[in-house]
Amino acid sequence: MKIDGAFLGLQLEYSRWASERSIDAARPLAEDELQRDLRTSHGSVLGTLLHVYKADRIWLSRVQGSPRFTLCDPEETWTLDTLARDWARVADGWRQWVTTVDDFEQQLNYKNLAGQSQSLPLWQLILHVVNHATYHRGQITTMLRQLGYTPVATDLHVFYMSRR
């Protein structure tokens, strides 16, 4: 299967757009609501947003050739503002990186966080990054509803329509 950089770049732009919308949807939450454990895999709205950000960041570090071996740094503390700022930097990194690749069929050989060797074609890992974020943004939508807030649409077709 031949997938080009323009297509993959568009998918990464969608993920950026949808993640920014999810952060904005969380802004009306009080601090206790933002961090309330809602019994999901990552606990809270903030915890889930951070999980997606950290996954985006670790995958970017791998494709850039300077892999991280931890999801977080001990000195990191997070608010929605610091998350939005740092996530924009990661998204900019993805935007720049995708333009430098000639062959998305090439394998990325890396070690996962457990130290096990893994390998994936670049196009598959990019679609994984986008799909992973989409899955967890769906959880955030559910959490916002549980807290009594109206979530925003982050569907792919809404992104496409917004670009018209």
pLDDT of residue 75: 85
pLDDT of 40 over the 80 cut: no
pLDDT of residue 64: 97
- Domain extent for 97: 5-162
More confident residue, 8 or 77: 8
pLDDT of residue 94: 98
Tell me the mean pLDDT in the region 86-102.
Answer: 97
Which domain CATH number covers 23? Answer: 1.20.120.450
pLDDT of residue 105: 96
pLDDT of 134 over the 70 cut: yes
pLDDT of 130 over the 80 cut: yes
- The DSSP string of 46-110 is HHHHHHHHHHHHHHHHHHTT---SSSS-TT----HHHHHHHHHHHHHHHHHHHTT-S-TTSEEEE
Rounded Cα–Cα distance for residues 6 and 14 (Å): 12
Closest CA to 89 of 61, 121, 68, 69: 61
Tell me the mean pLDDT in the region 89-95.
Answer: 98
Closest CA to 20 of 140, 127, 149: 140
More confident residue, 44 or 69: 44
pLDDT digits (tens, 9 = 90+) for 9-32: 999 999 999 999 999 999 999 999
Structurally, how many domains does the chain consist of? 1
pLDDT of residue 1: 67
